Structure 1
Amino acid sequence: MRRVVARFENGEDASDAEDDLREADFEPERPDIENPFFDPSARPPEARGLLWGGLIGGIVGVAVLLAMAMDMIWFPRLSPFLTAGRLTLVTFGFSIGVAVGGFVGGVWGMLRGVPDPEGPRVEVMVPDARVEDVRNRLRDHDATRVDDAVTHHGSG
């Protein structure tokens, strides 16, 4: 079984989607999710932190190792790295920068609060075989976001 949650711009579209799902023998409801981390339609804040932290860290890592290769800055213990070629230095600098920046960005994102969901939501429990049908029905009623999460596995 899957739990499909859709977000809408206005209540009229959400009501139309609920009516359509009832006609198709589903039981939609308006979810009351107190913790946004359990809402499959909420974007986790750490994702944005990981992306920007990784990109900025990668660029800084490349810049630092290239500056070391061109003798613009010097760190005594890191100088053996400079025996590598420039492509190796760029790759290594980018990799280390992405790892450090992604970690810092992810932690920063986790410290931020999860934004409150905007607009009404509709939730429906669906067997795995009918998930695409429900997702298409919700999109037909102008859902701005449709996500699902597995609730449990089993026959049914």
Structure 2
Amino acid sequence: MRRVVARYDDPADATEAEEDLRKDGYDPERPDIENPFFDPSARPPEARGLLWGGLVGGVLGAILLLAMAMDMIWFPRLSPILSAGRLALVTFGFTIGIAIGGFIGGVWGLSKDVPEAEGPRVAVSVSDAEVDEIEDRLRTHDATVVEDTVTSHGD
């Protein structure tokens, strides 16, 4: 079984979604989530830190190693890696930059508070086979976020 949670900006849209699900025999609810960390519809701040940290780090790493390959800068201990081609160096710099930047961004994101989600939520428990259909139905009522979590596994 999975629990699908949708967040809406407009309470009328949430009510319409609940009525639509009730017509077909589902039992939707308005979940009270005391801690936003456990809200599946809330995006954790470390995800944003990982994304931006990885992108910035990747670009800076690629630029740094490309500049080294073009003899614009020189670091004595890193000189042996310059025997690789420029494409390999840019790829290596991008990869290392993503790893370092993503780590720093994730740590930075963890220091931030999880934002309190605005707007009503609608939650419904469905079988694994029905998840895609229910997510599509919730999105047709203008859900801003639709996420699902596994609540129990079958035998």
| TM-score between the two structures when normalised by the length of structure 1 | 0.89
Match of 2:51 in 1: 51
After TM superposition, the structure 1 = structure 2 runs for residues 52-91 of structure 1, keeping only pairs within 5 Å, are 52-91=52-91
The Cα offsets for residues 91-114 of structure 1, whole Å up to 9 and x where unpaired, read as: 111111111111111111121111
Q: Which runs of 5+ in 2 are unaligned?
A: none
- 1:71: Cα distance to partner? 2.7
Q: Determine if the alignment matches structure 1 residue 126 to structure 2 residue 98.
A: no
Which residue is equivalent to 2:136? 136
Q: Cα distance, 1:152 vs. partner? A: 0.4
Separation in structure 2 between the aligned mates of residue 50 and residue 82 of structure 1, nearest angstrom:
28
Q: What whole-Å deviation, never above 9, does each CA across 1:5-53 have from its counterpart, x for those lacking one?
A: 1111211111122122222222211111122222221112222111111
- 1:114 matched residue in structure 2: 114
SS class of match (1:146) = strand
Paired residues, number: 155
Identity %: 70
Give unpaired runs (5+ residues) of structure 1. Answer: none
Q: Let me know the Cα RMSD of the aligned residues.
A: 1.7
Q: Counterpart of 1:125 in 2: which secondary structure?
A: strand
Q: Give how far 1:67 is off.
A: 2.1
**Alignment partner, residue 96 of structure 2:** 96
Aligned counterparts, 1:22-41, within 5 A: 22-41=22-41
* Distance change >3 Å, CA 132–CA 84, structure 1 → 2: closer
Amino acid at match of 1:129: A
CA–CA separation in structure 2 for the residues paired with 1:47 and 1:81:
32
**Consecutive aligned runs of 4 or more in structure 1 exceeding 6 Å deviation:** none
- Distance in 2 (CA, whole Å) between partners of 1:82 and 1:132 is 49
Instruction: Judge which range, 137-146 or 101-110, deviates more.
Output: 137-146
Following the alignment from structure 1 to structure 2, what is the Cα–Cα distance between the partners of residues 24 and 5? 17
Name the residue aligned to 1:148. 148
Question: Residue deviations 1:74-105, cap 9 Å, x none?
Answer: 22111112222212211111111111111111
